[in-house]
Amino acid sequence: MKYDDMPVGLGMALAQNPEAVSRFASMNEYEKQELINAAHAVSSKEEMRRLVNNIAAE
């Protein structure tokens, strides 16, 4: 996986949620790419925060 494809907002939102970082780290490459793809479709900071919070809640 090329992490330079990760949207900056996703990285920033992950940095603010340690549980989400842990979950992201345990994802396989396909799951990580799916999350990155979903993050590319996000249009606001709040929406990105919800996406990341959903990762932590799983």
Length of the chain as a residue count: 58
Burial class of residue 58 (count of CB atoms within 10 Å of its CB; 0-12, 13-18, 19+): exposed
Per-residue confidence (pLDDT) for residue 58, from 0 to 100: 80
Mean pLDDT to the nearest integer, 7-36: 95
Write out the DSSP string of 11-36.
HHHHHT-HHHHHHHHHS-HHHHHHHH
The whole-model pTM stands at 0.85
pLDDT at site 4: 65
- How far, CA to CA in Å, does 43 sit from each of 27, 46, 47, 49? 24, 9, 7, 11
Delimit the domains of the chain by residue range.
Answer: 3-57
